[in-house]
Structure 1
Amino acid sequence: MPTTLTERYIAATIRSLPPSAQDDVRAELEASIADAVEARVEQGESPADAERAVLSGLGDPAVLAAGYADRPLHLIGPRYYLVWWRLLRLLLWIVTPLAMGAVLLARLLTDATAGEAIAASVTTGIGVIVHIAFWTTLVFVLLERRGAETGVTWDIDRLPEPPQNASGRTDLIGSLVFLAIAAGAVLWDAVRGFVRVDGEAMPILDPALWPWGVTALLVLLVAEAALAVRVYLAGRWTVPLAVVNTVLAVAFAVPVMVLLLQGRIVNPEFVRYLVESGAEDAGASAGGIVATVAVIVGVVIVGGALWDIVDGWRKALSARSPAPAAPRREAVPN
């Protein structure tokens, strides 16, 4: 005997439910479907059309079964979504650049070409992004299905400070990118050299600066990056942050100027290479080249340090100044 649409619908609904709940759900559905069909027949519909209309109105049996079982039909629901999204962004921002930078540095130190090092770094970054996204999402899917608590709750104290201006994030990203490029350029010059002479690397900076001088410079660059992050998190410049900025600017400019005046910044071999490559034919000498480079670099360093200090103090003092009061409006007589 062929089964009816109602029997097929009920069977499709209860098959994914626990055995202990199947009989109760079956009885409830049989009664409610029968009442709904009877009501439509009394209004003039045929039994077959009434049955089809009632079952169509109930919708997909899997959705109905999920409602009976209190089982979510989404990957990550609103209960866990914000926690998942915030954690995922944090991991991507921290782990991905660190992994890419580590691979890039490791490849450069093993005599790989620039193209090979960059390709390996990008490939690693893509793999890290995929793994972080997959495993983080999987953890929250399991939490969603089990109904477990994440332990993260929101309260009024978690409200962030309003940023001083809308460009705070842009300034942070720009600063970090510039510092990363500067650090990479210094490391590349010290390890691989920007100039190749007869297949041999020739650094532009004096090799005597390696490793302690270069390490000190990298430490200052990391400190500058940490300061940029701190300013962004604070939402504005403060007097203590301006003091730290001044100390870092002086700590960078003074030693560099001393080394520059002593002629210990530019690699002497690089200067000799420039002279032998044709600068001498143009009437230039090694001493003249060094003096010209020293003047240019000195002006850039001193000017940049002074601008950085003044800009930091200007922003800090501006943030301390109270906002001007809004002008009072005189009452308009009626």
Structure 2
Amino acid sequence: MATTLTERYISATITSLPPDSQEDVRAELEASIADAVESRLEQGEHPVEAERTVLTDLGDPAALAASYADRPLHLIGPRYYLAWRRLLKLLLAIVPAVAVGGVALVQIIIGAPPGEVIGQAISVGISATVHLFFWVTLIYVILERTGTDTPDDWDVDQLPEPRSTGAGRGEVVASVVFVGLMIAAMLWDRFRGFVWIDGHDGGMQILHPQLWPWAILGLVALLLLEVGHAVLVQLHRGWSTGLAVANTALAVVWVSVLLTLLGNGLLVNPEFMSLILPGGGSEPETARVVGVLFVLSVVGTAAWDITEGWRKAGREATRRGSSAGAAR
């Protein structure tokens, strides 16, 4: 015996409902559908067309069942979406970069070839990104389905201070990535070398071999201080006179260290210099020109960094002064 469209529709609707509520929903739907069909029959519609129209108006049985069960039909709804997005953005800004840097560093230390280092780093970066999307989304899907409360409700205390000149989280992350790349480059230069020539055992170093280990450790410490300074600017929500002074001091130390090493012939590997300079570096005029260009670039970069720091500190002081005056 063939079942009617109404019976098929009701069966499709109640199948996914808890057993203890199926009969109640069945009775409710049978009554409401019958009333709706009866109303259309009184208006002169054909019985078959009336039934089809009523069932079509009710919509997809799965959607109707979800409304009875109070079950969401979205992966992550508005209740959790903003929290999911904030957490995902924070983790994506940190975890993949750290994973890529860590894997590249390990590969360099164990002496892997450049192609393998790059391939492994890219693979781990992609894998970390995919895992972050999957697991963070899965956590919030579970929270959505279980209706668990989260401590991420917004209130006015979370409003950020206006910040026109301070360093954002992106600048801190960029600083960390830059320092990681610099340290990785130093390790690569020491253990693998950047210049490969015939007849040379392994790659040739660009930095002077006598920099290892203490001078290199000092340079690494200066790089980490730069990261610490960026973090302080972020925590302070902008530049201040003290942070500008610290930035100036770091820049001066950098210039002093680099120029001292250059003046004592301890910055660049002599073999590398003799390889790249015309005449093997035997022409004093050529070496002098290269040295002057290096000094100008180092001093110019430091001067720009110092100027930017004081300019941002001045603008931040002006902004805060204006805010204080408006408050009074």
User: Shorter-chain TM-score: what band?
Assistant: 0.7 to 0.9
Q: Is the 8 A contact 1:272 1:286 kept in 2?
A: no
Q: Return the offset for 1:204.
A: 1.7
For 1:171 and 1:71, locate their aligned partners in 2 and report how far apart those are by CA, in whole Å. Answer: 42
1: CA distance between counterparts of 2:98 and 2:255?
28
CA distance in 1, matches of 2:276, 2:54: 89
* Kept after mapping to 1: 8 A contact 2:206/2:272: yes
Q: Please, which runs of 5 or more residues in structure 1 have no aligned partner? A: 326-334
Equivalence map 1:204-223=2 (5 Å): 204-223=206-225
**Root-mean-square deviation over aligned CA pairs:** 2.7
In structure 2, stretches of 5+ residues that fail to align are 323-328
Q: CA deviation at 1:151?
A: 2.1
The answer to whether residue 309 in structure 2 is matched with residue 307 in structure 1 is no
Shift of residue 77, structure 1, vs aligned partner: 0.9
Task: Give the alignment partner of residue 237 of structure 1, picking from 233, 236, 239.
Answer: 239
The residue type equivalent to 2:302 in the other structure is A
Deviation at 1:235, TM superposition (A): 5.5
CA contact (8 A) 1:271 1:286 kept: no
Deviation sequence 1:275-332 (CA, Å, 0-9, x none): 7xx615xxx527655544433322222222222112211221122125999xxxxxxx
In 2 relative to 1, CA 170–2 (structure 1 residues): closer, same or farther, beyond 3 Å? closer
Equivalent residues in 2 for 1:1-334, closer than 5 Å: 1-164=1-164, 179-197=179-197, 198-199=199-200, 200-228=202-230, 230-231=232-233, 236-274=238-276, 279-280=279-280, 285=282, 290-322=287-319
Instruction: Report the CA distance between 1:35 and its aligned residue.
Output: 1.0
| Cα distance between partner residues in 1 of 2:134 and 2:37 | 47
| Contact 1:245/1:312 (8 A) holds in 2 | yes
How many matched pairs? 320
Alpha-carbon distance, 1:270 to partner: 2.7
Q: Distance in 2 between matches of 1:300 and 1:89?
A: 36
Structure 2 contact 192–203 (Cα < 8 Å) conserved: yes
- Residues in 1 aligned to 2:62 and 2:132: alpha-carbon distance in whole angstroms: 31
| Residue type of the alignment partner of 1:35 | D
In 2, Cα distance between equivalents of 1:239 and 1:81:
40
Does the 8 Å CA contact 1:239/1:313 hold for their aligned counterparts?
Answer: yes
Percent identity over the alignment?
51
Give the 3-state SS of the residue equivalent to 2:239 in structure 1.
coil
Q: Distance in 1 between matches of 2:320 and 2:146?
A: 51
Query: Per-residue deviation at 1:7?
Result: 1.3
